């Protein structure tokens, strides 16, 4: 996994103060990283349009123009008066070399957006909006310097933003790159080395980007084993029975030795899934909430009071009864609307989904501070998995998963790992990665996934 930070200005400052690196030196490395991204993909003499803003992000772009000059057909466009001393210095260097400025935008093979960086704290003015609209209309390969213009320091977009094929972000990863809103704009993310290795530049953090290597599959390495060795998950089935059945099938396919559903009515189940009316004596984990609907409060209260590892989803996030489970290590898997309801039930915030999506990290931190034992998995384009002070970001999800039943599969995967003895945080991380990576491996049209397809892809991981 990789480190993520809310801001990197303090990391730059540390380079100046502790390692005697200058602002100029860090900027030169930023420009070199942009140059590398171009030279590895495009032949010499390709045309490059660099649009530079008035601050240090613009200065990075101007330095890039100098580095590419004579090897590529460089067109440098500076729409606003420069304010940053470094931007003025970089322009002086470029002009002494012979780099000429253009007076209007021109479509090129490559477009580099270095208008505004990750510190943007205001709406784009009309002139900036027109520039971004024009750049987005070009059939060019698009590179963003640090972050696509239009995405602010919180990762929100108030008007519009630059659509990048790749974002070369400076020094380290920032949370603003990993909001749901930003996902369609950032493209591939590359971290630029700024004069020291990332291990030196970066400091301790509680924010992390998950990678495929962080997936720990429940592969069986014991030869002397039986079905009970791999746990027994109980899935509570409610009035919308299909959701619980989907979860049970997913759990069995992800390694649980035994899976039983708790339901007082007859349920059509595969032969390998059992049915019971109460918690099984040898139950090792519980999955609860998927399609629960109308429920017997006393029965659910008893289940929530169990000391067994538990995954909770869906309907219970709207009910006060959820509070019973929040004092133990339980995994919660809400989507944004459900998380807003949960925040309200817990008297933490009364907000709408739009407000949550603008401040996902903030509200996840707020919830986990109050309930440090709980593992929260907030669904979205980028999944946030958190416990206590640590937050992990899973970016592998896609629109393939935007189908009914996908969340029930996830609940079953988490429950399966809990039943097999994974710690709650580890179960949430590996289940989330398996869920998203399996969906990305789906080969048919991306609108056609059904829950059974997803379970089959999980089996192939």
Place 83 in a pLDDT band, splitting at 50, 70 and 90.
Answer: very high
Return the pLDDT at 221: 87
Question: What is the number of helices (H) and of strands (E) in the chain?
Answer: 15, 18
Do residues 199 and 178 share a domain?
yes
57 is in an annotated binding site: yes
448 is in an annotated binding site: no
43 is in an annotated binding site: no
119 is in an annotated binding site: yes
Do residues 20 and 118 share a domain?
yes
Q: Where are the beta strands (DSSP E) in 45-148?
A: 47-52, 73-77, 110-114, 141-145
119 pLDDT more than 80: no
Do residues 176 and 254 share a domain?
no
Do residues 249 and 191 share a domain?
no
CATH of the domain at 94: 3.40.50.10260
- For the beta carbon of residue 66, count every other beta carbon within 10 angstroms: 22
Return the pLDDT at 292: 87
Do residues 60 and 196 share a domain?
yes
231 is in an annotated binding site: no
Domain residues for the domain of 157 are: 2-204
Return the pLDDT at 334: 96
For the chain, how many structural domains are there in total? Answer: 2
Q: Is the pTM higher than 0.85?
A: yes
Do residues 195 and 219 share a domain?
no
350 is in an annotated binding site: no
Do residues 177 and 286 share a domain?
no
Report the alpha-carbon distance of residue 374 to residue 386 in Å, rounded.
8
380 is in an annotated binding site: no
Return the pLDDT at 199: 93
* Average confidence (pLDDT) over 390-411: 95
Of 186, 204, 222, which residue sits at a domain end?
Answer: 204
Return the pLDDT at 286: 96
Name the percent of the chain lying above pLDDT 70.
100
Nearby residues of 342 by Cβ (< 8 Å), 6 or more positions away: 317, 318, 322, 332, 334, 367
123 is in an annotated binding site: yes
302 is in an annotated binding site: no
Pairing outcome for strands 207-209 and 2-5? antiparallel
Place 88 in a pLDDT band, splitting at 50, 70 and 90.
Answer: very high
Do residues 166 and 277 share a domain?
no
326 is in an annotated binding site: no
* Average confidence (pLDDT) over 201-225: 94
136 is in an annotated binding site: no
Do residues 19 and 149 share a domain?
yes
Q: Out of 11-25, 74-88, 217-231, which region has the weakest mean confidence (pLDDT)?
A: 217-231
* Average confidence (pLDDT) over 108-136: 91
Place 441 in a pLDDT band, splitting at 50, 70 and 90.
Answer: very high
Return the pLDDT at 291: 86
59 is in an annotated binding site: yes
Answer for the pair 339, 352: CB distance below 8 angstroms, yes or no.
no
165 is in an annotated binding site: no
Of 182, 204, 226, which residue sits at a domain end?
Answer: 204
Do residues 178 and 290 share a domain?
no
117 is in an annotated binding site: yes
Return the pLDDT at 296: 83
* Average confidence (pLDDT) over 117-122: 80
Do residues 283 and 386 share a domain?
yes
Do residues 182 and 253 share a domain?
no
Of 173, 204, 235, which residue sits at a domain end?
Answer: 204
60 is in an annotated binding site: yes
Q: Which of these, 391, 372, 385, 379, lies nearest to 427 by C-alpha position?
A: 385
* Average confidence (pLDDT) over 68-78: 95
Place 58 in a pLDDT band, splitting at 50, 70 and 90.
Answer: very high
224 is in an annotated binding site: no
State pLDDT tens for residues 337-378.
Answer: 999 999 999 999 999 999 999 999 999 999 999 999 999 999
Place 39 in a pLDDT band, splitting at 50, 70 and 90.
Answer: very high
Q: Who has greater pLDDT, 239 or 449? A: 449
State pLDDT tens for residues 177-212.
Answer: 999 999 999 999 999 999 999 999 999 999 999 999
Place 297 in a pLDDT band, splitting at 50, 70 and 90.
Answer: confident
H or E element in which residue 340 lies? helix 336-345
State pLDDT tens for residues 226-267.
Answer: 888 899 999 999 888 899 999 999 999 999 999 999 998 888
Query: How does the average pLDDT of the chain come out, rounded?
Result: 94
294 pLDDT more than 80: no
CATH of the domain at 356: 3.40.1190.20
* Average confidence (pLDDT) over 271-297: 90
């Amino acid at each position: 996994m990789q480190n993520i930070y809310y801001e990197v200005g303090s990391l730059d400052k540390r380079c100046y103060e502790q390692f005697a690196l200058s602002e100029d030196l860090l900027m030169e490395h930023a420009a070199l990283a942009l140059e590398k991204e171009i030279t590895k993909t495009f032949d010499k003499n390709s045309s490059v349009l660099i649009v530079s803003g008035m601050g240090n992000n613009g200065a990075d772009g101007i330095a890039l123009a100098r580095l590419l000059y004579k090897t590529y057909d460089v067109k440098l466009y500076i729409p606003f008066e420069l304010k940053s001393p470094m931007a003025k210095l970089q322009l002086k260097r470029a002009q002494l070399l012979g780099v000429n400025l253009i007076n209007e935008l021109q479509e090129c093979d490559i477009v580099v957006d270095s208008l505004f960086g990750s510190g943007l704290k205001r709406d784009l003015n009309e002139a900036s909006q027109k520039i971004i609209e024009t750049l987005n209309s070009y059939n060019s390969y698009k590179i963003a310097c640090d972050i696509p213009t239009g995405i602010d320091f919180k990762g929100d977009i108030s008007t519009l933003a630059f659509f990048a094929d790749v974002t070369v972000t400076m020094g380290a990863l920032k949370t603003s790159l990993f909001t749901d809103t930003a996902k369609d704009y950032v493209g591939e993310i590359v971290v630029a080395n700024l004069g020291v290795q990332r291990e030196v530049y970066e400091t301790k953090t509680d924010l992390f980007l998950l990678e495929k290597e962080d997936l720990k599959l429940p592969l069986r390495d014991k030869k002397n084993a039986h079905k009970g060795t791999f746990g027994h998950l109980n899935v509570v089935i409610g009035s919308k029975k299909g959701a619980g059945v989907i979860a049970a099938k997913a759990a069995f396919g992800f390694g649980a030795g035994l899976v039983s559903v708790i339901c007082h009515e007859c349920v059509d189940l595969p032969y390998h899934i059992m049915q019971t009316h109460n918690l099984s004596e040898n139950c090792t984990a519980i999955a609860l909430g998927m399609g629960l609907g109308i429920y017997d409060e006393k029965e659910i209260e008893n289940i929530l009071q169990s000391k067994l590892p538990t995954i909770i989803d869906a309907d219970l996030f709207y009910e006060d009864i959820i509070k019973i489970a929040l004092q133990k290590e339980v995994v919660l898997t809400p989507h944004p609307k459900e998380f807003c309801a949960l925040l309200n039930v817990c008297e933490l915030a009364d907000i709408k989904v739009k407000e949550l999506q603008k401040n996902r990290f903030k509200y996840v931190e707020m919830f986990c501070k109050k309930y440090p034992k709980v593992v929260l998995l907030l669904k979205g384009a980028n999944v946030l998995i958190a416990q206590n002070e640590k937050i992990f970001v899973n970016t592998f999800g896609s629109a393939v998963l935007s189908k009914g039943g996908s969340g029930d599969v996830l609940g079953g995967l988490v429950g399966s790992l809990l039943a097999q003895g994974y710690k709650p945080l580890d179960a949430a991380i590996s289940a989330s990665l398996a869920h998203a990576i399996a969906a990305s491996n789906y080969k048919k049209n991306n609108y056609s996934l059904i829950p059974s397809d997803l379970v089959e892809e999980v089996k192939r991981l």
